[in-house]
């Protein structure tokens, strides 16, 4: 049966739920929400005007971002709608998945619920079928969440192992350049234009817990060979971001890459293990050094000379290698979990297409 979204979902304006003070504190009880990526802006101790008609969909009228919320909250923005089912014939979570699948991209700065979304028509199945669809999608999302939590636990385990092996011991501190054969950044003048070839050129946006090849810039072979003369990235090197979000690092596996100037490559000598250096760069001690060395206001950066002077403890290579073996074992376990998450995501997308196309 075709029905307009505005007939299936009723909305409420957020006026009486808007937080009076933005002096948030994590010790306070009530979250202040946005429908955007940040979701929880902070926590307030205000006791009045708390939204508790749950569950609810919060809908950003300008960006069309949505969140499904099942806990009491307040909001910051007036540009929001609280969406509830118009009657018992409609499963709210079903419409949450439906709107997510639409992936609507606003092209103008206007309020979208009344002007756009409320007028959209869809074939909506009977309530029993809605419930069945929601049950299947919820199970997939829950499985993905559990797998993601497993990945986080493995990362915490590596961090814990590093602390246990190294942070309670006294090792000589030296400049990073003293235990490396080379520390350099990427190209300061990357070629203009994009040539969709097979040679990726990474920026700081592509470096996190691993190398992310989405939104990467690709070079032709001639450009790649020219740029790679400077950096010559090889397996076992460490990449670290020195512009933007500084101090993120990753060990290169088998990737063929070159770098923009926002990323530096570190080549350890024979007395240092890449996995040890990489984990040290993630440590609180190293991150504090990055913060002290950072320059710039709108965009933070670390000079290559300051990176070379970064202080690093030098435990025996045998101990570093032992830690590296542990990390490699964990990485294998994580790889299996990531494969499971990818399969679950494919299944999720397939079902969304089946149900909402």
- Whether 84 and 55 have beta carbons less than 8 Å apart is answered as no
- What is the pLDDT, as a whole number, of residue 344? 97
Lowest mean pLDDT among 135-139, 162-166, 208-212: 208-212
Q: Does this chain's domain 2-124 share its CATH topology with 172-313?
A: yes
| Range 158-186 average pLDDT | 94
CA-to-CA distance for 249 and 133, rounded, in angstroms? 41
Q: Write the pLDDT tens digit of every residue in 277-289.
A: 999 999 999 999 9
Residues 6+ apart with CB under 8 A from 355: 97, 101, 133, 137
- What is the pLDDT, as a whole number, of residue 296? 87
- What is the pLDDT, as a whole number, of residue 268? 97
Q: pTM for the whole thing? A: 0.82
Token duo for residue 279: 């984990």
Right CATH number for 172-313 from 3.40.50.2020, 3.40.50.1370, 3.30.360.10, 3.90.220.20?
3.90.220.20
Q: Write the pLDDT tens digit of every residue in 33-63.
A: 998 888 999 999 999 999 999 999 999 999 9
CA-to-CA distance for 349 and 56, rounded, in angstroms? 23
CA-to-CA distance for 212 and 233, rounded, in angstroms? 16
Locate the domains of the chain by residue range: 2-124, 125-152+315-357, 172-313
Lowest mean pLDDT among 117-121, 161-165, 224-228, 270-274: 224-228
- What is the topology classification, in CATH, of domain 2-124? Adenine-n6-DNA-methyltransferase TaqI; Chain A, domain 2 (3.90.220)
């Amino acid at each position: 049966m075709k029905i307009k979204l505005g007939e299936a979902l009723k909305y409420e304006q957020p006026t009486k739920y808007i937080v009076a003070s933005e002096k948030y504190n994590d010790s306070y009880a009530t979250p202040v929400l946005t429908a955007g990526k940040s979701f929880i802006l902070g926590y307030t101790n205000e006791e009045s005007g708390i939204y508790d008609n749950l569950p609810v969909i919060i809908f950003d009228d300008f960006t069309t971002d949505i969140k499904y919320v099942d806990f009491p909250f307040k909001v910051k923005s007036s540009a929001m709608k609280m969406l509830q089912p118009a009657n018992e014939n409609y499963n709210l979570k079903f419409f949450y998945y439906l709107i997510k699948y639409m992936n609507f991209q606003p092209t103008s700065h206007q309020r979208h619920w009344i002007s756009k979304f409320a007028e959209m028509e869809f074939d909506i199945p009977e309530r029993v079928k809605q419930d069945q669809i929601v049950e299947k999608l919820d199970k997939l999302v829950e499985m993905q969440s559990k797998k993601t939590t497993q990945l986080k636990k493995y990362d915490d385990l590596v961090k814990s192992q590093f602390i246990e092996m190294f942070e309670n011991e006294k090792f000589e501190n030296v400049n990073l350049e003293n235990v490396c054969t080379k520390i350099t950044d990427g190209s300061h003048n990357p070629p203009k234009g994009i040539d969709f070839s097979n040679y990726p050129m990474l920026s700081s946006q592509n470096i996190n817990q691993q190398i992310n090849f989405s939104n990467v810039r690709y070079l032709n072979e001639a450009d790649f060979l020219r740029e790679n003369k400077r950096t010559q990235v090889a397996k076992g090197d460490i990449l670290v971001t020195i512009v933007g979000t500084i101090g993120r690092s990753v060990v290169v596996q088998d990737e063929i890459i070159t770098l923009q100037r926002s990323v530096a490559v570190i080549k350890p000598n024979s007395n240092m293990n890449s996995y040890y250096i990489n984990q040290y760069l993630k440590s609180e001690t190293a991150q504090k050094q990055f913060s002290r060395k950072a320059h710039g206001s709108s965009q933070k950066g670390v000079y290559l000379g300051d990176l070379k002077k970064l202080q690093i403890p030098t435990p025996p290579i045998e101990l570093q290698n032992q830690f590296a073996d542990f990390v490699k074992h964990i990485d294998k376990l994580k790889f299996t979990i990531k494969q499971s998450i990818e399969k679950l995501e494919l299944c999720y997308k397939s079902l969304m297409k089946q149900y909402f196309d």
